[in-house]
Amino acid sequence: MNPAKPDTPSSNNAGRAWLPLLTGLAVLVADLASKEWALRALSPVLYGPRVKILPGLDFMLAYNTGGAFSIFHDQPWLITTGSALITVGIAIWCALFIRRHEPDVPSARLAFGLILGGAVGNLIDRVRFQYVVDFIHAYVRIGDSEYAWPTFNVADMAIVCGIGIFLFLSLFTNKLEPARAESAEKKESETPPEKLDEQVG
């Protein structure tokens, strides 16, 4: 009987990459499909006719030629270039995290997938149309006044959720802190003195 081969770092890294890749792909498919539906089903009239979903939530088509909160709306290629660089940066960050971080943090890999899938979804819009298709309109009505959040899409929700997971892990846990040095120190402190003498000898 041949002994089982131990997992190599490369095989572990490949296994860890599946969660962010599948998550990102699911976000991308959901985002593009929902935008295609919005383009076909909704009237592109900002603050015009809406599809009522829930109190405080409508579907309403809008085209965002700028970045967050429509900044640089008159320079779409600048936003497209910036979005591409950010997306590449996120992908590199994800790869380095999976390769170097111990112990494994599945929730962080899930967050990477959410952010990367959302970033790619919006980048595809900018390359195709020079704008991002938004259609989810959340608002609060007080009397005759309406206070609305900037219209957004599925990709935006995924990015916000991914960032939220990272913030939670950073602020309320120590899971994002590499534990290699800590584990080595703990192992050394737990080694009996006689074992240390044998190792030195």
For the chain, domain boundaries = 13-200
Give the pairing type, strands 51-54 and 132-142: unpaired
Predicted TM-score of the model (pTM): 0.74
Of 104, 125, 134, 197, which one is the catalytic site residue?
134
Q: What is the mean pLDDT of the chain?
A: 79
Copy the structure tokens of residue 87.
Answer: 């997306």
Round to whole Å and give the CA distance between 109 and 69. 27
Dihedral sign of CA atoms 116, 117, 122, 125 in order: positive
Known catalytic residue: 197? no
Angle between helices 154-172 and 106-129 (to 10 degrees): 150
Confidence of residue 13 (pLDDT cuts 50, 70, 90): low
* DSSP element (H, E) containing 133: strand 132-142
Segment 135-148, tens digit of pLDDT: 999 999 898 888 99
Is 134 in the active site?
A: yes
Residue 157: pLDDT band (50, 70, 90) is very high
**What local confidence, expressed as pLDDT, does residue 58 receive?**
92
In angstroms, how far is the first alpha carbon of the chain from the final one?
Answer: 37
| C-alpha span between 117 and 29 (Å, rounded) | 9
Residue-level pLDDT at 70: 53
What digits encode the pLDDT tens for the residues 105-138? Answer: 889 899 999 999 999 999 999 899 988 999 999 9
The active-site residue, picked from 31, 58, 125, 156, is 156
* pLDDT at residue 64 in the model: 86
**Alpha-carbon gap, residue 131 to 45, rounded angstroms:** 15
Predicted pLDDT at 184 = 44
Position 3 pLDDT exceeds 60: no
Long-range contacts of 101-104 (CB under 8 A, 24+ apart): 101/176, 101/178, 102/178, 102/179, 102/180, 103/179, 104/16
At residue 2, does pLDDT exceed 80?
no
- pLDDT band at residue 154 using 50, 70 and 90 as cut-offs: very high
**pLDDT tens, position by position, 73-116:** 566 677 778 778 888 888 888 778 777 766 678 898 999 999 99
* 34-52 pLDDT tens trace: 999 999 888 765 555 688 8
Q: Cα Rg for the chain, rounded, in angstroms? A: 23
Three-state secondary structure call for residue 192: coil
Give helix 76-100 / helix 9-41 axis angle, nearest 10°. Answer: 150
